[in-house]
Chains A and B, each alone.
Chain A
Amino acid sequence: MTAWFVILLAGLGSYLFRISMIVLTDRIALPAKLEQASAFVAPAAFAALAATGIAAASVRASDVAHAIPLLAAVAVAILAVHVTGRSYVAVLAGMPTLWLLSLAVGT
Chain B
Amino acid sequence: MSAVSTSVVQRAGGGEYAAGARAMVPWLAGVVPFGLVIGVSAARADIPALAGWFTGPLIYAGSAQVATIEMLHAGAAPAVIVATALIINLRLVLYSGAIAAKWRGTPRWWRATAAYLLVDPSFVVGVDGYERHGDRGAGHRHYLGGALLLWVAWLAAIGIGITLGAQLPAVLRLELIIPLYLVGEVVGKLGDRATRRAAITASVVAAAALAAPMHLGVLLAIIGGLLAALTVKGRSR
Least distance between A52 CB and chain B CB atoms (Å): 5
Chain A residues within an 8 Å CB radius of B95: 18, 41, 45
Q: Mark B66-105, 1 if CB is under 8 A from A, else 0.
A: 0010001000001001100110011111111111110110
The CA of A102 and the CA of B176, in the complex, are separated in Å by: 13
Chain B residues within an 8 Å CB radius of A68: none
* Interface residue B205 (Cβ < 8 Å from any Cβ of A): yes
Structural contact, B116 and A95, CB atoms closer than 8 A: no
B55, B176, B183, B204: most-surrounded residue (chain A CB, <10 A)? B183
Structural contact, A44 and B82, CB atoms closer than 8 A: no
Structural contact, A14 and B195, CB atoms closer than 8 A: no
Structural contact, A50 and B182, CB atoms closer than 8 A: yes
The CA of A45 and the CA of B206, in the complex, are separated in Å by: 10
Q: A40-B225, A57-B179 are in contact. Are A14 and B187 (CB under 8 A)?
A: no
The CA of A51 and the CA of B116, in the complex, are separated in Å by: 27
Chain A residues within an 8 Å CB radius of B94: 38, 41, 45
The CA of A46 and the CA of B157, in the complex, are separated in Å by: 23
Chain A residues within an 8 Å CB radius of B57: 11
Structural contact, B210 and A44, CB atoms closer than 8 A: no
Structural contact, B47 and A70, CB atoms closer than 8 A: no
Q: Which of A1-15 contact B (CB under 8 A)?
A: 2-15
Structural contact, B124 and A11, CB atoms closer than 8 A: no
Structural contact, B225 and A44, CB atoms closer than 8 A: yes
* Interface residue B214 (Cβ < 8 Å from any Cβ of A): no
Q: Mark B48-61, 1 if CB is under 8 A from A, else 0.
A: 10010011011111
The CA of A52 and the CA of B221, in the complex, are separated in Å by: 9
A52, A77, A87: most-surrounded residue (chain B CB, <10 A)? A52
Chain B residues within an 8 Å CB radius of A82: 187
Structural contact, B26 and A88, CB atoms closer than 8 A: yes
Q: Nearest B residue to A103 by beta-carbon distance?
A: B171
Of A50, A56, A78, A87, which one neighbours B210 at CB under 8 angstroms? Answer: A56
Structural contact, A43 and B186, CB atoms closer than 8 A: yes
Least distance between A43 CB and chain B CB atoms (Å): 5
Structural contact, A48 and B205, CB atoms closer than 8 A: yes
The CA of A21 and the CA of B118, in the complex, are separated in Å by: 12
9 cross-chain pairs, A with B, having the tightest CB-CB distances, nearest first:
A90-B184, A44-B225, A11-B58, A53-B179, A48-B221, A50-B182, A21-B97, A21-B96, A51-B206
Further pairs besides A3-B72, A37-B230, A54-B179: 9, Cβ < 8 Å: A7-B72, A10-B82, A22-B111, A43-B202, A43-B225, A49-B206, A49-B218, A50-B203, A95-B180
29 A-B pairs with CB atoms under 8 Å apart are A4-B51, A6-B72, A7-B51, A7-B55, A10-B64, A10-B89, A11-B55, A11-B57, A14-B59, A17-B89, A18-B115, A30-B100, A40-B230, A44-B221, A45-B123, A47-B182, A47-B202, A48-B218, A49-B120, A50-B180, A52-B179, A52-B206, A53-B175, A53-B176, A59-B210, A74-B179, A78-B183, A90-B183, A91-B184
